[in-house]
Every structure is written in structure tokens, then in C-alpha cells.
Chains A and B, each alone.
Chain A
Amino acid sequence: MRRILLGIGTLLIFSAGFLSCQKAEVEKEKAPSRALAPEEATGEYPYRRLSTYGFFEGEMNLLSPSEEIIYYNPASSLFTDYAWKSRFIHFPEGTKANLVDGELEFPVGTILIKNFYYPTDFRKPENGRRIIETRLMIHETKGWQAYPYLWNEEQTDAVLKIVGAETEVSFIDYNGKEQVINYLVPNKNQCKSCHNKNEALAPIGVQIKHLNNTLDYGMEMENQLVHWAKLEKLEGFDSPENHPSLINYEDKGQALDERAKAYLDINCSHCHRAEGPASTSGLFLTYDEKEPLKLGVNKTPVAAGKGAGSFKYDIVPGKADESILTHRMNSTEIGVAMPELGRTSIHKEGVELIREWINSMEKSK
């Protein structure tokens, strides 16, 4: 009797398993349309679809901002496989940011919007583009949260994808050369590998030092922080002169040392600082770091593994080609390449800038 029951039981489990498998498959086929099914803007984030937030007017892929969001742009930009980026910030109605002790504090409900796209031809960006992803950082009651949205092929909407993704992107670069990049969308928790301040998720671009500069708003040119203050979106900001301002490392009119520090700050210091995950290394690359050892000058690595190549020090003054810093920037090999996330290609212009900077340092005797 027991055996028969067992037999029936097994049969049931098998057939149930079979049925549920079939069901799963049907569901999978339907998945894209379900994900794009209409969704209501309940105010409970995150939404499944990017369109539900209503950030953009008209055809979504034009990324034309609604009145709800403000365009912003940090002085220097983190290198992400040559992707172009457009950024916006949304403040909940009637709220504003506060400047306290040199740090921007944002109200709950603030949303940072960052679109990653590639023009088909970098020389003629007006000729069309492909938007890959839009990353949202939402300031919730429990702190900032990061949500990556992956754009569909039709470029009509983007869907929340927390486990990350991979997609091939091709474009024609400034020199007219065809480039193909294996673009990686990070998984949700990888966002924090960079956006990390004392293990809390933290924005990178919306800091005073990155925004204290003039931006072209189309109708006018204005300091971004002054602009926010005028819109009553910023409290406690007196005047640009009283706050640090980073330069754009691409601006060749600026001093080499300044440009190099600006580059390292935006590309490396989110990890390489006392409050960041790479504090373990003792290598600190914020723009205001003055101590040579902390900047990597004649500093031996700690846990670099194969990242050290055949070199002894992070920076050997006057010898960029013997410095671990440039070695790791100039590699795409995982385990060697720095930064660890966000690029599968080499930022040639960045490597060149840091090479020039190290070579300009006086050689140790």
C-alpha cells in the first residue's frame, strides 16, 4: 500500500513538475510583453518600466526632459567604454537640496537619471544613436538605491534589470574607425562597487566639486549650483568662489597636474579614498591628496596580484612605463584592468594623460 501511494505520489510530482515546466516556458515567451505591460505610477519605487516615471516628453528615445527634471553635468566624466551620457536630476515637488559642511544633502525622493548611449557615428551625433541603459539612483528613506534599466531594441522603453546584462555595441569613432565593444550592464549590487561611501550607496557626480562650474543650458550659460539655487532647488549655497571646483580633464588649456588629478578623482577616487572600498590598498587618488606615498609614489602594492605586472611601485616618478598605475589602466585583462568595473576597452586618452603626468615628475635619485 505504502509503495503504491509512493508511486502515485511520485507520478503526481513528476506530472506537476512537467506542467510547471511547460507553464514556465509559456511565461518566458510572454515575458517581454508582460514586462512592458502598462504600469501605474503609484509613487512606490522602483517601477518596472522607465517610462512610468514620466521623465521624458514626446518620443522617449529623444530623452527630452520634462519640467520635472533638471539637466546637469559634472566637470569631468567617468570613462565608461566611450559611452556618451546625459544626466538629469528630479526633486520631489517643493523640496530642495541642502549644502551642509561642503556636502550636498538631498531630500528623500530625489532621483538621479543617467542615460548611456552611443551615437552611430561619433563625428555626426545628430545622425542617430542607440541608448543602452538608464541608471536611476533613488534617494529612499533607507538611503540611496541604484536601479539599472535596460533599453529595448526598438528604443521605445527600458525595463528594470537587476541581474545585469551584456550587449555588443558598434560605433564609428572620432577617427572614422569602426569600433565594437562588449558593453556590460552592471548588476544592481555592482553599482555599489563604485557608488560607495563607508558602505552606504552614494552618488558620485552630484558633489559640489563636480558641479561648481558653468554649464550650457541652451538658452544661457550658468554655474550649475547658481542655477539650482535660482530654481529654489538648493539651500545654503553662497557663491562659487567659496567652494572647490574641479576642472574638466579634457581641457588641454589647464595645467597638466590639475588635469591628471581631475582624471584620477573622477575615475578612481570613488574607490581609492579613505571612505571607499579600495582603502585596503592605501592608495588614495582624490584630487586633494598631497602625500606622495598615498598617491602611489614609490608605493609598493598590497593585494594587486597579477595587476602589478613586472613592476614594483604604483608610480615611479619620471617613468610611466614602469608604473603599476598606467599598467593597469592600459589593460583589459580582468584582474589587471582598473577600474574593475565599467570598462572592457582601454581609455587611450586617459592613459596618455596619466603617462604624461608621471613622466613629468622629477625622477627619484
Chain B
Amino acid sequence: MKRISFYLLALLMVLGIYSCGTSTTEQTFDTSKIRRASAEETEQIIEAFILAEDSTTIDIPEGFYSLSTQLILDNKKNISIKGAGMDKTVLSFKDLKSGGEGVKIVGQGITIEDLSIEDAPGDGIKAQHTDGITFRRINVTWTNGNKSKNGTYAIYPVQCKNVLIDECIASHSKDAGIYVGQSENIVVKNSLAFGNVAGIEIENCDNAEVFGNVARDNSGGILVFNLPGLPKSDGKNTKIYNNEVRDNNHKNFAVPIGEDPNGNTVTMIPPGSGIVLLAAKDVEIFGNKIHRNKTVGVAIASYQVTGFPAEAPNWSPYTTGIYVHDNSYERKSFSIPDFTRELGKMVAVYNAHGFGKAQDIVYDGIWDENLSKTIDSNPMKICISENMEGLRFSRFYLMEGEDKIDSFDDYQKFQNCKVSVTTNLSFLQIP
């Protein structure tokens, strides 16, 4: 232990610089040349949201709209909100004076498409208590040079049903770019998330598919979490497939650089994380390109690793029923794992392959001792069916606290099993 600490110190000093993580302020579109909409035009848009009648379309013509109040669609049915294109219609909330999000939607059968949302102080666009919500070709971003001023979530459906996020772009949010929370029946496809702390996050949700997306240059690419103490207490059944999860080596800017993580779980995500599962239930991960994430490709963890109280009604802190198969892995060369977060250090220092070596798959090895005395019987049903040749796998032993951390390259225990994860996307056929 002492020796490790010594190495740690020495290496931290030398390699600290390399492990800092990257940062980007890349913008997909240049919106500076778009015609500035007049105050009257902007007021018309605000009115259109307030006066919207069921089964109508709100057209937002080409222009850069500078809003100082929120756009709220309140409990309407079958409304289509339509811009002239992500590079043509921009709703800027840089001057917003109050309110938690730029655009807020509540209702039934709502579609919003072809526009950009910039610089909302809180969340970009939030949909709540909505049955049938489609985001299509929506670009949500922040243009601040200093990313610590950016908002929380870019695209944020919560407590919704039948959610489709298609061909969207979410960048530079301080938490998750695309965040689906406490919802059911979800598809996130063909979208791009970059420069966020978390690219795409599915939290306390049931029945979700995430496919055909690119999650790159975030701190963590794709996350499936279940957090305690929420009205939707636990979630299950998620498929993550055919995504590109690459180069997620961005600094974790959810708290100011140099500050310790706060109570937001995302602040603990080590830069260089591909796919992270936390207290997740029934997740299938396959056909993804998991490339050049400098700390870990796939991380399977229970909530206990956060160190936060892990008890809540109708909720379990364990990650169970995981099936990881047929993904492509590539480690980042000339690089060392993250040392800025505890979980990064754990991987870097205690993995089963050697100090400072990035891992392709890690499992925190925390299991429910009520189910089994040992982990050998794979009580949490973690199934890994990959060609392990050349891959680095680490199963940690954390059951006796920090002083007895150990790790093993015993992937065999978790092979030769399957978990059947069922999702149902029939809602997509509903016009």
C-alpha cells in the first residue's frame, strides 16, 4: 500500500499533465451571420407558444431570436414546433432573466424539429409529463468560451412516455447532453453528443434503445444510471447498440477544475470513460465501436462506489443483468488513465494488468451478499461475451473498504452466460 502511494505521488507529478484531459469549444454551426430577429418578431414567437391551440404548427422562421423570457408550451396536444433548420433558426437564451430552462414543453404528441437552442442558463430544452415527444434535428449548445458557465442538460425529457430523439446534436452541457430521466419507452438514435461531461444518459428509465449515435469527446460517452430517492424509483431494460463511443477524454468540467466532485453523480465520472453503468438493471451492450477512451471502455459499477448513502425505497444500488457482447474495442495509445477522479485512480492504480494501464472492461465486483457468499457464482448476472484476446478486463474487490482493494483478470467467471433484455419499440409506429 505504501509503495503504491509512493509510485502514485511520483507518477502523478510526472504524468499529471498528460492525464488532464482535453477540452473543446467546437461549434457545429456558425450562427453569428444569421439575421437578427426584431423585438416584435421575438415577441410573436413567445405569443405563439402561449396562444398555441391543439393540433397546430408553430413555425419559427429563419432568424436568430434573442429571448429574455422562457418559451413554454403548456399542456397542449398534437403540436408541431418547426424551425427552418438547425443552421437557420436559432433560439438564444443568453439574455434569459429567470426560469430553469430555455424551452419547456408539457403535453401530448409534441414534435419539435429543425432548430438550434443556444446558451440557456439552466437546461436547453425540457419536456415533462409529455406522452409522445419527438425531438428531430434539434441542436442544443453553449457558446461560452468558459465552459463552467454552461447549463446542465441540453435535451432533457423527464417523466415522459414515448420519447424519440432523432438526428439531434447536443454539445457542451455541464452534465449530460442528451439526458432522458424517469421516463418510459425511449429511442435515442442517429444523434451526436460531444463536448459534454456525459454524452448520452438514460437515468431511472424503462424500455430504452440507444443506437446509431456518436458520443465523442465527452468525459463519459454513454451512461445508464439509476439514482436513489426519485419518484420513478428504479429503471430497467436498455439496449445500447451500433454506437460510436470514442475519444471521450474531455475534462470533467461539471465542477470547476481542481474542485472536488459535489453531490451530482456526474461530477465523479473520470474523463476517458466510454460506457458507464451505475445501479443499472438489464442492459445489453453490443455492436458498438468503443475506441480511444483513455481510462475505460465499459465500466460496470454499483451505486456503492459513489460513497453516497445507498438506501432508498423500491430501489437497489446493485447493477444486475448486464450483457456485453460483440463490441469493438481500441485503447488509446501513448496515454494513461484519468487521475482527476477517484474512480479514474481506482482503475489506473488497482487494475489487474499493471499500474497506469487503461482498461477495456471493468466490473467493480460489488455483489449482494444475501444472494451468494462469493462472487464466483456470478450472482449479479454480469455476462461478458467478447473475444477477450488482447482485451484488458479487471474485476475489482471492494467489499472490505479502501485498505483491501484488490483486482482480478478473471473474465472467465462472467463468460458463457446471457441475459435476455427485452425492449419494445412499437410506440414508434404511432403517427
What is A's interface to B at a CB cutoff of 8 Å? 24, 162-164, 166, 182, 184, 186-190, 192-193, 199-200, 274, 277, 279-282, 293-294, 298-306, 308-314, 324, 333-335, 340-342, 344
Partner of B100, one of A189, A314, A333, A340: A340
Q: How many A-B residue pairs have CB under 8 A?
A: 141
Partner of A324, one of B40, B68, B182, B263: B263
- Asked if B231 lies at the interface with its beta carbon under 8 angstroms from chain A, I say yes
Q: Does the CB pair B50–A189 fall under 8 Å?
A: yes
Q: Does the CB pair B122–A340 fall under 8 Å?
A: yes
Partner of A312, one of B228, B231, B262: B262
- Asked if B29 lies at the interface with its beta carbon under 8 angstroms from chain A, I say no
Q: Does the CB pair B122–A312 fall under 8 Å?
A: no
Partner of B97, one of A24, A166, A277, A279: A166
Q: Which residues of B contact A334 (CB under 8 A)?
A: 96-99, 121-122
| Stretch from B152-160, B207-215, B241-249, B375-383 that touches the partner | B152-160
Q: What 0/1 pattern do residues 128 to 170 of B give for CB contact below 8 A with A?
A: 1100000000000000000010011100101100000000000
What are the 8 tightest A-B residue pairs by CB atom distance, in nearest-first order? Answer: A305-B152, A189-B72, A312-B263, A300-B263, A334-B121, A335-B121, A282-B229, A340-B100
What is B's interface to A at a CB cutoff of 8 Å? 40, 43, 46-47, 49-51, 68-70, 72-75, 96-100, 104, 106, 121-123, 128-129, 148, 151-153, 156, 158-159, 174-175, 179, 181-182, 203, 227-231, 254-255, 259-260, 262-265, 267, 308-309, 312
Shortest beta-carbon distance from B69 to chain A in Å: 5
Instruction: Report the separation of the CA atoms of residues A302 and B158 in the bound assembly, to the nearest whole angstrom.
Output: 12
Q: Which residues of A contact B68 (CB under 8 A)?
A: 166
| 25 contacts across the A-B interface (CB closer than 8 A) | A162-B51, A166-B68, A187-B69, A189-B70, A189-B74, A190-B69, A190-B70, A193-B72, A193-B100, A199-B106, A280-B159, A280-B181, A293-B312, A300-B227, A303-B156, A304-B263, A305-B123, A305-B152, A305-B254, A309-B262, A310-B260, A311-B263, A314-B263, A334-B98, A335-B122
Instruction: Report the separation of the CA atoms of residues A341 and B97 in the bound assembly, to the nearest whole angstrom.
Output: 9
Q: Which residues of A contact B73 (CB under 8 A)?
A: 189
Q: Is the interface of A mostly helix, strand, loop or mixed?
A: loop
Q: A187-B72, A190-B70, A344-B97 are in contact. Are A282 and B262 (CB under 8 A)?
A: no
Shortest beta-carbon distance from B370 to chain A in Å: 22
Instruction: Report the separation of the CA atoms of residues A308 and B159 in the bound assembly, to the nearest whole angstrom.
Output: 22
Q: Which residues of A contact B47 (CB under 8 A)?
A: 162-163
Q: Does the CB pair B72–A310 fall under 8 Å?
A: no
Instruction: Report the separation of the CA atoms of residues A277 and B122 in the bound assembly, to the nearest whole angstrom.
Output: 15
Q: Does the CB pair A306–B174 fall under 8 Å?
A: yes
Instruction: Report the separation of the CA atoms of residues A192 and B104 in the bound assembly, to the nearest whole angstrom.
Output: 11
Q: Does the CB pair B49–A199 fall under 8 Å?
A: no
Q: Which residues of B contact A186 (CB under 8 A)?
A: 69, 98
A327 — nearest CB in chain B belongs to which residue?
B262
Shortest beta-carbon distance from A346 to chain B in Å: 14
Partner of B308, one of A280, A281, A300: A300
Instruction: Report the separation of the CA atoms of residues A303 and B263 in the bound assembly, to the nearest whole angstrom.
Output: 10
B179 — nearest CB in chain A belongs to which residue?
A303
Instruction: Report the separation of the CA atoms of residues A325 and B342 in the bound assembly, to the nearest whole angstrom.
Output: 26
Q: Does the CB pair A162–B122 fall under 8 Å?
A: no
Other than A303-B156, A311-B262, give 14 A-B pairs with Cβ distance below 8 A.
Answer: A162-B47, A182-B97, A184-B97, A188-B50, A189-B74, A190-B98, A193-B100, A294-B229, A305-B152, A308-B264, A334-B98, A334-B121, A341-B98, A344-B98
Q: A310-B260, A311-B262 are in contact. Are A293 and B98 (CB under 8 A)?
A: no
Q: Does the CB pair B181–A303 fall under 8 Å?
A: yes
Shortest beta-carbon distance from B37 to chain A in Å: 14
Instruction: Report the separation of the CA atoms of residues A200 and B40 in the bound assembly, to the nearest whole angstrom.
Output: 30
Q: Which residues of A contact B70 (CB under 8 A)?
A: 187, 189-190
Q: Does the CB pair A303–B121 fall under 8 Å?
A: no
Q: A190-B69, A190-B72, A312-B262 are in contact. Are A277 and B46 (CB under 8 A)?
A: no
Instruction: Report the separation of the CA atoms of residues A300 and B75 in the bound assembly, to the nearest whole angstrom.
Output: 30
Shortest beta-carbon distance from A23 to chain B in Å: 13
Q: Which residues of B contact A301 (CB under 8 A)?
A: 262-264
Q: Does the CB pair A277–B128 fall under 8 Å?
A: yes
Instruction: Report the separation of the CA atoms of residues A324 and B263 in the bound assembly, to the nearest whole angstrom.
Output: 9
Q: A187-B50, A189-B72, A300-B263 are in contact. Are A335 and B151 (CB under 8 A)?
A: yes
Q: Which residues of B contact A190 (CB under 8 A)?
A: 69-70, 72, 98-99
Instruction: Report the separation of the CA atoms of residues A358 and B399 in the bound assembly, to the nearest whole angstrom.
Output: 34
Q: Which residues of A contact B312 (CB under 8 A)?
A: 293
Output the residue of A182, A186, A200, A333 with the most chain B CB within 10 A: A186
B43 — nearest CB in chain A belongs to which residue?
A163
Instruction: Report the separation of the CA atoms of residues A188 and B46 in the bound assembly, to the nearest whole angstrom.
Output: 10
Partner of B128, one of A188, A280, A312: A280
Q: Does the CB pair A310–B308 fall under 8 Å?
A: no
Q: Which residues of A contact B43 (CB under 8 A)?
A: 163
Q: Which residues of B contact A340 (CB under 8 A)?
A: 98-100, 122
Instruction: Report the separation of the CA atoms of residues A304 and B214 in the bound assembly, to the nearest whole angstrom.
Output: 26
Instruction: Report the separation of the CA atoms of residues A31 and B98 in the bound assembly, to the nearest whole angstrom.
Output: 27
Q: Does the CB pair B153–A303 fall under 8 Å?
A: yes
B44 — nearest CB in chain A belongs to which residue?
A163
Instruction: Report the separation of the CA atoms of residues A24 and B44 in the bound assembly, to the nearest whole angstrom.
Output: 14
Shortest beta-carbon distance from B162 to chain A in Å: 16
Instruction: Report the separation of the CA atoms of residues A58 and B264 in the bound assembly, to the nearest whole angstrom.
Output: 56
Q: Does the CB pair B231–A280 fall under 8 Å?
A: yes
Instruction: Report the separation of the CA atoms of residues A281 and B47 in the bound assembly, to the nearest whole angstrom.
Output: 30
Q: Which residues of A contact B182 (CB under 8 A)?
A: 280
Q: Does the CB pair B231–A279 fall under 8 Å?
A: yes
Instruction: Report the separation of the CA atoms of residues A227 and B400 in the bound assembly, to the nearest whole angstrom.
Output: 65
Instruction: Report the separation of the CA atoms of residues A303 and B312 in the bound assembly, to the nearest whole angstrom.
Output: 18
Shortest beta-carbon distance from A190 to chain B in Å: 6
Q: Which residues of B contact A187 (CB under 8 A)?
A: 46, 50, 69-70, 72
Instruction: Report the separation of the CA atoms of residues A187 and B43 in the bound assembly, to the nearest whole angstrom.
Output: 11
Partner of A310, one of B153, B230, B262: B262
Instruction: Report the separation of the CA atoms of residues A68 and B305 in the bound assembly, to the nearest whole angstrom.
Output: 63
Q: A274-B231, A280-B230, A310-B255 are in contact. Are A303 and B152 (CB under 8 A)?
A: yes
Shortest beta-carbon distance from A337 to chain B in Å: 8
Instruction: Report the separation of the CA atoms of residues A341 and B148 in the bound assembly, to the nearest whole angstrom.
Output: 23
Q: Does the CB pair B98–A302 fall under 8 Å?
A: no
Instruction: Report the separation of the CA atoms of residues A199 and B74 in the bound assembly, to the nearest whole angstrom.
Output: 8
Instruction: Report the separation of the CA atoms of residues A164 and B50 in the bound assembly, to the nearest whole angstrom.
Output: 11
Output the residue of B49, B73, B99 with the most chain A CB within 10 A: B99
